[in-house]
Structure 1
Amino acid sequence: MKKLILFAFIICSSAMAFGQSNMACCSKQSATKQFAMLANDKRFVMSHPQPKTIHFQSSIGKAITYSTPDGKTADAYEFKAKTPTNNYILVVHEFFGLNDFVKKESEEIYNDLGNVNIIDLDLYDGKVTADRTEAAKLMQEVKDDRAIAIIKGAIAYVGPKAHIATLGWCFGGGWSLQASLLAGNQAVACVMFYGMPEQDVNKLRTLHTDVLGNFGNQDAWINPKVVAKFAADMKTAGKKLYLHQYDAGHGFANPSSPSANSAAAADAYKNTIIFYKARLK
């Protein structure tokens, strides 16, 4: 029996490692866990080289701590609007953790929107790395219950009157969608970059916002077949998906990625700002 269980796990992991959308094998795994399993795929890990060193020091952002419903606290990085507003974007980092790349990107969005608070969440609980093997380990160590508590704590921190948008890349792309689901009727916009979509149509039916999805057609993992299923599931759930697919690979919006594509990244960023401006008024 143990051999059969191990064999089934290997088959399931292999299907994801080759970017297949044969999710039936892994149907009992959450979407976030399915993405975390990619840490077992050497090709996926090797596709994330050491990030370029970015020394980013913000004059407007600051580190914050807030309470989480599991009795702990969470760390985050906040950009506070110059004029008080109930508009918030909750940002979830990618593979390497809450690093300077994420903070720099958040400040750029903050400056381009002008009427928003941005909070960079830390689902790695203070751990950040430039080593891809360590990053894969950190990604696998994230427990859904703890990540959900961190997101719920952020939602409580911004308050019941907040209009909540979300954003994330890679690991954070899937969690951006989960954060919008958790935000309930406070959710006003969700942007995800090449993250694992939610595959439970009943959960998608509870979504209160449109979704902007940015994906690469050369992505070996969140591939066009996975994206097509997401589009079909969103349609079945009666939700609006604004889909942008580029001739690019996984990580195309990260300048440190071997799949970095400046044209695709610029277009995705432009569409993200337009999407937010229409919903964060």
Structure 2
Amino acid sequence: MKKLFLLTLLMISAGYTFAQKMACCKPSATQQFAMLASDKKFRASHKDPVKFHFQSAIGKTITYHTTDGKTANAYLLKAKTATNNYLLVIHEWYGLNDFVKREAEKMYNDIGNVNVIALDLYDGKVADNSQDAGKYMQAVTDARAKAIIKGAIGYAGSKAKVATIGWCFGGGWSLQATLLANKQAVGCVMYYGMPEQDVAKLKMLNCAVLGNFANKDQWINTKVVTKFAADMKAAGKTLYLHQYDADHGFANPSNPVYDTNASKEAYGYTLTFLKTRLK
């Protein structure tokens, strides 16, 4: 009987230890999204982007210090009149390419009186095919990405009002960047990115979130989005949710699944949301 009791205790202890390891090793929301790059169907759904070249007369590349003791590059569009309004733009899984730079400048012009910083979470790497994009996305560590984001917030300054926007890979990181901005955060826009699934973390949000999602998306699907809406409600936070009869990547003109109508409508909501918060 004594041996049986000791054996039971050992089994319970082993089970508890395993549960602890599972808990501590659970991938973050951004890591979960990065893992999708191992899915052949996910990679196949991202057709190689249409070749696109953009040359700006006002945007420039900057270098700034990151919180891990390194440096990072970014694309800056500086407001014509001095302001503490900042919009952090986070690229999709191809990297900080010319399409993202053009979108950054479009928002810069449409919002008005705002500094726009398009971040580079790939540290200079830009993909023109899904194979490389998947490799670059999976090579990003949470620690490095957060250091880059924190560095950008530091570059903006302690008085900056920070809004964020991102697509796909950048959609999930837009939400994470908003969490990192803490009380400086004034608004978050995420396009078909992986939501944060920890309600305790969502409770730390200091602003509303606008989500543009695609009902035909097989990965950030309606089930994921429905849970996100429920989690935001449980956290007591505001989510402006917009869902479209479109596919993942619908807002990218260089993507063959680009949906003109859905993209136009989503951008309208996005622009109104950001203008209201970056006055």
**TM-score, structure 2 as length reference:** 0.91
**Does residue 182 in structure 1 map to residue 180 in structure 2?**
yes
Q: Which one-letter code corresponds to 2:228 in the other structure?
A: F
Could you tell me the percent identity over the aligned residues? 67
Change (3 A) 1:196 1:26: farther
Task: Name stretches of at least 5 consecutive residues in structure 1 with no aligned partner.
Answer: 1-23
Q: Which one-letter code corresponds to 1:147 in the other structure?
A: A
**Does residue 218 in structure 1 map to residue 212 in structure 2?**
no
Does structure 1 conserve the Cα–Cα contact (< 8 Å) formed by 2:50 and 2:255?
A: no
C-alpha displacement of 1:257: 2.1
SS in 2 for 1:174: helix
Does structure 2 conserve the Cα–Cα contact (< 8 Å) formed by 1:49 and 1:256?
A: no
- Distance of 1:101 and 1:120 partners within structure 2: 11
RMSD over aligned CA atoms reads: 1.3
Alignment of 1:124-135 (within 5 A): 124-135=122-133
- Distance of 1:95 and 1:142 partners within structure 2: 11
Does structure 1 conserve the Cα–Cα contact (< 8 Å) formed by 2:52 and 2:254?
A: no
- Distance of 2:159 and 2:240 partners within structure 1: 26
- Distance of 2:183 and 2:195 partners within structure 1: 20
Structure of larger gyration radius: 2
**TM-score, structure 1 as length reference:** 0.90
C-alpha displacement of 1:25: 10
Aligned pair count reads: 258
**Does residue 208 in structure 1 map to residue 206 in structure 2?**
yes
**Does residue 81 in structure 1 map to residue 89 in structure 2?**
no
The aligned residue for residue 155 of structure 2 is: 157
The aligned residue for residue 233 of structure 2 is: 235
Does structure 1 conserve the Cα–Cα contact (< 8 Å) formed by 2:215 and 2:221?
A: yes
Does structure 1 conserve the Cα–Cα contact (< 8 Å) formed by 2:200 and 2:235?
A: yes
**Does residue 51 in structure 1 map to residue 49 in structure 2?**
yes
Task: Name stretches of at least 5 consecutive residues in structure 2 with no aligned partner.
Answer: 1-21
Q: Which one-letter code corresponds to 1:184 in the other structure?
A: N
Does structure 1 conserve the Cα–Cα contact (< 8 Å) formed by 2:88 and 2:119?
A: yes
SS in 2 for 1:28: coil
**For each residue in 1:55-94, what CA deviation from the matched residue of structure 2 results, as whole angstroms up to 9, or x when unmatched?**
1000110000000111100000000000011000001100
Does structure 2 conserve the Cα–Cα contact (< 8 Å) formed by 1:69 and 1:149?
A: yes
The aligned residue for residue 119 of structure 2 is: 121
- Distance of 2:24 and 2:93 partners within structure 1: 21
Does structure 2 conserve the Cα–Cα contact (< 8 Å) formed by 1:93 and 1:168?
A: yes
Of 252, 255, 261, the match for 2:253: 255
